[in-house]
A and B are shown apart, each in its own frame.
Chain A
Amino acid sequence: MCGIAGIIYRNGEERQEVGRDMTRMLQAMKHRGPDSTGYALYRPDTDGYVMHVKLAESNGQQSFEFVERLRRQRAQIEERLRSLGARIRDVDASAEHAMTVTFDHDGDLKALTDYIEDIRGAEVLSLGRSLEIVKDLGDAETVAKDYGLNDFIGTHAIGHARMATESDVDIANAHPYWAYPFPDVAVVHNGQLTNYHQWRRRLERAGHRFQSECDSEIIAVYLAERMAKGDSLEDAMRRSLHELDGVFTYICVTENALGVAKDELGAKPLVLYESDDLVALASEEIAIRKVVDREIETYDPYEGTVMVWTR
């Protein structure tokens, strides 16, 4: 199953309560996937980078020195960032097993990410000037409360309510996926990819790292790789319809665009609502109605559809 949702405001610079809206949409689709919930939220561009790092699985094994280990990891992360020349502005450690670092950096982001992930247990969930990925076990309201997402003011967002079918229930296998090492690109996916291993081997040979066993991670890295080769987001997504096998509806976001693609069988649901103020899309209309509380004109895009909106 899985439920996916996306929302992008079209009224220019005006900021919106995107965190609250996304929580409402995902909570309405809790029945599609209660295992984990994830958000990719975009704030208006900041000067520096924001990095979300997972320090441990929230349902993982916790040894006697677990708290001490988390403290050590936090210290190591800050130390390694500084050693690469990053200037740390702010560190937020409100969630027990994750942390958020805001910093300035002029150097190579891939090298920086690799160096941070070299710390045992650490995984960079997202890195970018405006992107923030938050994912954890539980429903949308639980995750939003734990990470204070309902106050998030931003421009656009995607979210995912996961029913695990192909891989474990943990943070590593939760959506959205960040397109390591390309800043500000994230993907949520509903479906199954059948040529996952083929693509994973290809992309690994090209130097990409995979943090999970989840087939959806391929899409994020695949798109980022295409965009790095010069494709636009829309071109990369069109190409993916032919190169990725299986059934899927996925939503991809960058710092200023939101795109959706449906496989050529139209096997996975998507309902779309477009207005002058906003574009909202979700697996079920009931999610959109939590943001636009009135009778609205919506439709299901057809198989093989690729659509991109910019803000």
Chain B
Amino acid sequence: MDAIGATYDARGLVELDGTVPKISEIDGDRAVLDARELSTRKINAELRWLLYEEGIKDVTVLNPSARHSLGVGILTRCRLTFEGSLGYFGVGLIDGPEVQINGRVGWSVAENMMSGVVVIESNAGSLAGAALRGGDLVVKGQVGARTGIDQKGGTILVLGDAGSMTGFMMQRGRQIICGNVGPGLGDSMYDGVIYVGGKIASLGIDCVPGEWTDADTEFIERKFRIYDLGAPPELQKFVCGKKLYNYDNLEPAERKMVL
């Protein structure tokens, strides 16, 4: 604790109540944390203590009880297992972890993930993989609306259905939606690819069918093999039509100068 009464966590970031509960059962480089009686802040402090200071590589969290913002900002390679559902913003802003969630997640799971793997056994809420930059997000159930909004990289794989505006403003990366998708698929996408297995309620602005190549087949099969998901379904490919691209056009003032 310093002069102003603040403490700092293992990353050097300010922690309002940084006392770590240190209640996990540690066995070698594995640990089990029962989160039932802990606040969100304490759970995250404990996770950081285990992963950064104790050198634990595999943590199982019991009773997450659908609480928000669990496992956020973990910036090291490790294995995290949540035995239960998470609330909003689960495992956001992570770089490196392999996460297994044996339950459901709320809105904005794996938001802004840089690298790593997040596998969700059940459903996910809206905005799954928002602003995803890298890594794989696998949802074995259905997802809500605006999946992968503003996605800038990585892969989102959904075995069930997806809601409206899937891939909204997507800039790079890939999405594989095996089920049906809601209206406005790939609306205003800049780049990237969306594969859809089921029915499409409607395409969004400037989202058009793409040409299938061998690279697509190889990619899909590889992802299904890695996550042991069986044979991939028949998929359609969608990309950006680039009709909304106006970057080459000159501003009126510039046009005058050229003329």
Contacts and interface: CB of A to CB of B under 8 A. Distances in A.
A302 B122 CA distance: 16
A280 to B, nearest CB: 12
Contact of A302 (B65, B87, B144): B144
Contacts of A106: none
Nearest to B65: A289
B175 interface: no
Contacts of A300: 123, 125-126, 144, 163
Range of interface residues on A (Cβ < 8 Å): 10 to 19
A286 interface: yes
A286 B84 contact: no
A111 interface: no
Interface string A258-279: 0000001111010100000000
A74 B142 CA distance: 54
Contact of B164 (A284, A296, A297, A303): A303
B144 A285 contact: no
A271 B65 CA distance: 14
B42 interface: no
Interface in B143-192: 144-146, 161, 163-165, 182-183
B106 A302 contact: no
B238 to A, nearest CB: 19
Range of interface residues on B (Cβ < 8 Å): 20 to 34
Contacts of A295: 84-85, 103
A245 B85 CA distance: 33
A266 B145 contact: yes
Contacts of B88: 284
Interface string B94-126: 000000000110110000000000000011011
A115 interface: no
Given A300-B144, A302-B182, A285 B87 contact: yes
Nearest to A288: B66
Interface in B120-146: 122-123, 125-126, 141-142, 144-146
Contacts of B48: none
A302 B166 CA distance: 12
A298 B165 CA distance: 22
A12 B199 CA distance: 39
A303 B182 contact: yes
Contact of A285 (B66, B164, B182, B183): B66
B163 A266 contact: yes
A265 B183 CA distance: 9
B67 interface: yes
19 contacts: A264-B183, A265-B165, A266-B144, A266-B182, A271-B106, A284-B87, A284-B88, A285-B66, A285-B85, A285-B106, A286-B67, A286-B87, A288-B66, A295-B84, A295-B85, A299-B104, A299-B123, A300-B144, A302-B164
